[in-house]
Structure 1
């Protein structure tokens, strides 16, 4: 096949002309793009998914607000720095007892100046066993309750119940190996037998109704009351022994020892650990040296409790410095202004504000509901039985 040969010198001028044409077109295109971008800053379609338009400029008012608000933000850094110092000083000078909620009946830790923390032994095992069996009875209710309306059509409860029944049977068989009193073993076994009987009936019938569940709950309830008595008596008796010993160890230092207990909302009323502490410190120490700290979970850590305690003690010093009262900062500082504002708003509506009475800053009132006149109806298991709401 014949090849066509070209003379290089013949094509050079044409090639150079083409290159100049391309360059000129490119320059013109860039100029057009620059001009277009200057007139229309919109991002091209292929960049819209990855490029965010710049926010509009911050206004003078916004900058002013940021400058002022930053003072409050920076306050927390300053407070944190001071809090570290306060915690060290408190540990070096103040005896402290922490009573922390736990699944084992509580953790009591004694902090003495210049010494390592001393953690008390745990509550006897019967506490956990009684509480676990009592919770088992209620967990069985929780397993079936969502399906009461259509348990025979919706069998979603069955796998969970079958699995839990295996665990219940294993626990029941193991009770004789627990180092507890014979009557306690009998109570645990009888309770689990009632639970198993209900489970077996539900599984055999392929369902249940409200009457079945209520009959089960009311049938096992007397045992639950007995389990509560067993668990709480062992818990309280144990911590009484611990605090009796610690009070002897501290001697005169007991009179300036602080005590902390923690509680989630549902465990605040009749809180056992706080109530035990008050028996040793006296009612006059409530909200002064014996404090109940609210937490968002049942269990918290000693570190978080120590931080909260240091904040309270340091804020009391701040309150004395600013307002000449070392208990004012135990209250919401904006609360008095808020109270006045609520009263004003309600007056504008022609109504009286619903607010609690003011109490002295150093009130030693119990930190939960204590006014019998604030409600009606039963206030104890004994009241429930006396009213006929539970079997005698």
Structure 2
């Protein structure tokens, strides 16, 4: 009998968690004629992907005619994660029943091009969290939509979402845990995904690892998945991105290199202490650069009341906006220097050419043209009723 996680000495320490995962998959697997896996390359989605392939090959789950695997290449992953993803992709391509699709955002919407070419400031966790949807979720939805557009029936998209990885994500899960008939213990099942190519209502998502603890993830990735009887997956290298032998204790979350949304680059700080990855130390300069780019001196500001097409007045009449052309050019030069010293590919030749083209064309986001004052300039306040408030003590502020 083929070894599984449910027989003999191969049983996982946290077998109950795996049994719940299998119950979750079995509950929804047969509801949809098409099955896909959304894979970011991180520890959770990699655990979900490799476990599902094992469960299929061991007969625990029926093998679909085609298992679609969509790898979200954000172009911003930490090098150990990217290296592990490339090795896993090589193994996936050995299986004729798996169709692998590498998904990237359109050129103008990629992380660096969007910031440096169009001038949109780096994302933050408050008012401008644009990155995850733009470089990962939307391209994934488009790719899945294109894959099933000419097929009959619905598709089930498997994700590696877990509770405890993000307070914001946990809040969304808590608010929607009872949607679409999902039951406790059956994962996070939703019959919704962003509309793509006219496939609204044909895509459902399932997070069968929702209940896993980080130790369960590492049990699979570091102990079982690399074993030949469970697929021989080259995933142990992922530990480097999460702290090496101390990965479980550190429990570092990873995102983009120098992720603007993370309060601390724990994963990167751990990686650069390892001999094999010390050359990545210049990447630690990215987070301070992103903070610099968000400062008023590097951005434009609306100078007064802005009326919308319907005649109403826009909120925040003197709100800060896009990066100046000078700031973008300076940041581009700095990032190219950082990637040369770190020996990584943050901006490739195609992206660099497009960024320079957009800067030369004076490209700005909608409703901005670059003639607005710099955001660190002192401006008289203006109000929608025509009144205003001049700057007091103008001579003291140099306005």
Using the size of structure 1 for normalisation, the TM-score is 0.24
TM-score, normalised on structure 2?
0.24
Structure with bigger strand share is 2
The higher radius of gyration belongs to 1
- Between Structure 1 and Structure 2, the one with more helix by share is 1
**Comparing both chains, which one has the higher relative contact order based on Cα–Cα distances under 8 Å and sequence gaps of 6 or more?**
2
